[in-house]
Amino acid sequence: MSLSPDSLRELFFAQSIDGFFIMMLDEPIEWNDAADKDAILDHVFQHQRMTIANEAYARQYRVALPELIGKTPAEFFTHDLESGKAGWRAMFDAGHIHTETDERRMDGTPVRIEGHYLCVYDDRGRITGHLGIQRDITDRHRAAEETAQSREELRALAARLESIREEERTRIARELHDELGQSLTGLKLDLAWMERRLNRHSQSELVDRCANLLGRMDDVMISVRRIVTELRPSVLDQLGLADAIEWQSHDFAGRTGLALDLDIDCDCNAMPDAVTSAVFRMLQEALNNVAKHANATRVAVALRVESGYLSLDVTDDGRGITQSEMRGSHSLGLLGLRERAIALGGSVTIASGERGGTSVALQLPLRPKAP
């Protein structure tokens, strides 16, 4: 038995897993710039009615199909007439619309609908109603919202961890500096006193021992100062970001013998502490990598502030970096760079140049979102 085209159309309409409907107006409306659109929409919301719909459509509203027939837009959008009307207005203006809407099922529960809607016109160009094809995307939408939310939470967590780490470092640096530094200075003074005394009594063996101890004390003090500076780069506090970066780059070039191109164009005063210390740490990591891995002869450091963004680029002319090195699970240094950037709402791009060389580019918004 073969079905007629009409019955096939009927079958298609009835069986589709997408919701189909047509809502017609009691009388056609003139929709143009001369029209009083607010008044027309008020009228439409009371006088347009669900004319035909399929089972899939009824399922989206958790109601038996016959109960939907005759319903008006006002009844579908009792929970939010404002946005209902805004949707209708956009559809009437453009003649069609593809949109996602927050609606209510007939049992009152929220449903997220994605649909295409198309105006129906009479031969005089007046709107007589519209038809729609729509899907229930509540689950997908919720999953996407949850993902976005957890990403946001991760970002906040990363920022929080970063600031805790930095506070902790500052605290340890201060204690090392104040407590250990003071004690060492005291010990050194006492030793020097002892050395003078022993000298007077011509105890040359003990004097030598004292001199040796004093020398070792100096080494310890230098180590403490180095550790303190690494924990909390005092140059940052003393010099501000731009000068600290200049200092660090020159210091690095001096130690490694690499040629340095420096390009600093930044009025970096009054930048949040979280930004300056993150940028400084990232510079240190990028430079360390150049020394450790790149086998380079030059390094270029550029710091700029442009249209609300701070950018720091560290580029070398070394052997380059491979994709797997960039993503390797033990690339903790590079991962740390990314995490710091994300924590401040920014990003890091790592790339290998065409003729070798590696560049690390950091971008940070200057008004980072509060953690």
Ligand X SMILES: Nc1ncnc2c1ncn2[C@@H]1O[C@H](COP(=O)(O)OP(=O)(O)O)[C@@H](O)[C@H]1O
**Which stretches of the chain bind ligand X, using CB under 6 A?**
289-290, 292-294, 316, 318-319, 321, 325, 331-334, 358
Q: How far is the CB of 301 from ligand X (least distance, A)?
A: 13
Among the listed ranges 28-36, 100-108, 218-226, 284-292, the one in contact with Mg ion (CB under 5 A) is 284-292
Q: How far is the CB of 313 from ligand X (least distance, A)?
A: 12
DSSP H or E stretch at residue 349? strand 347-352
Residue 75 binds which entry of Mg ion, ligand X, none, CB below 5-8 Å type-dependent: none
Q: What is the C-alpha to C-alpha distance for residues 355 and 319, in angstroms, rounded to an integer?
A: 9
Q: How far is the CB of 283 from ligand X (least distance, A)?
A: 13
User: Helix or strand or coil: residue 30?
Assistant: coil
DSSP-derived pairing of the beta strands 298-306 and 259-265: parallel
Residue nearest to ligand X (CB): 333
Q: How far is the CB of 318 from ligand X (least distance, A)?
A: 5
Q: What is the C-alpha to C-alpha distance for residues 47 and 50, in angstroms, rounded to an integer?
A: 10
User: Which residue shows structure tokens 């690339």?
Assistant: 331
Q: How far is the CB of 290 from ligand X (least distance, A)?
A: 5
Among the listed ranges 9-17, 56-64, 134-142, 328-336, the one in contact with Mg ion (CB under 5 A) is 328-336
Residue 301 binds which entry of ligand X, Mg ion, none, CB below 5-8 Å type-dependent: none
DSSP-derived pairing of the beta strands 309-316 and 358-365: antiparallel
> Which CB sits closer to ligand X, 46 or 288?
288
Q: How far is the CB of 285 from Mg ion (least distance, A)?
A: 6
User: Helix or strand or coil: residue 365?
Assistant: strand
Q: How far is the CB of 102 from Mg ion (least distance, A)?
A: 47
> Which CB sits closer to ligand X, 15 or 288?
288
Q: What is the C-alpha to C-alpha distance for residues 195 and 207, in angstroms, rounded to an integer?
A: 6
Residue 294 binds which entry of ligand X, Mg ion, none, CB below 5-8 Å type-dependent: ligand X
Among the listed ranges 115-123, 205-213, 282-290, 341-349, the one in contact with Mg ion (CB under 5 A) is 282-290
Q: What is the C-alpha to C-alpha distance for residues 81 and 72, in angstroms, rounded to an integer?
A: 12
DSSP string, 261-297: EEEEE---TT--HHHHHHHHHHHHHHHHHIIIII--S
Q: How far is the CB of 186 from ligand X (least distance, A)?
A: 38
The residue within the footprint of Mg ion, chosen from 60, 289, 315, 359 (CB under 5 A), is: 289
Residues 361/348, Cβ–Cβ less than 8 Å:
yes
Q: How far is the CB of 311 from ligand X (least distance, A)?
A: 18
Strands lying side by side in the sheet with 347-352: 259-265, 298-306, 309-316, 358-365, 347-352
**276: contact with Mg ion by CB under 5 A:** no
Residue 355 binds which entry of Mg ion, ligand X, none, CB below 5-8 Å type-dependent: none
Residue 201 binds which entry of Mg ion, ligand X, none, CB below 5-8 Å type-dependent: none
DSSP H or E stretch at residue 237? helix 234-239
In this structure, is the dihedral angle defined by the CA atoms of residues 252, 343, 312 and 305, taken in order, positive or negative?
negative
Residue 87 binds which entry of ligand X, Mg ion, none, CB below 5-8 Å type-dependent: none
Amino acid at 270: A
User: Helix or strand or coil: residue 341?
Assistant: helix
Calculate the dihedral angle through the C-alpha atoms of 301, 303, 309, 313, rounding to the nearest 10 degrees: 0
> Which CB sits closer to ligand X, 84 or 320?
320
Q: Which of residues 330-349 bind Mg ion (CB under 5 A)?
A: 333
CA 365 centroid distance within chain: 10
Among the listed ranges 92-100, 164-172, 234-242, 289-297, the one in contact with Mg ion (CB under 5 A) is 289-297
Q: What is the C-alpha to C-alpha distance for residues 60 and 75, in angstroms, rounded to an integer?
A: 15
Residues 198/212, Cβ–Cβ less than 8 Å:
no
Among the listed ranges 26-34, 96-104, 223-231, 288-296, the one in contact with Mg ion (CB under 5 A) is 288-296
Residue 352 binds which entry of ligand X, Mg ion, none, CB below 5-8 Å type-dependent: none
Among the listed ranges 52-60, 64-72, 73-81, 326-334, the one in contact with Mg ion (CB under 5 A) is 326-334
Binding site for Mg ion (CB under 5 A): 289, 333
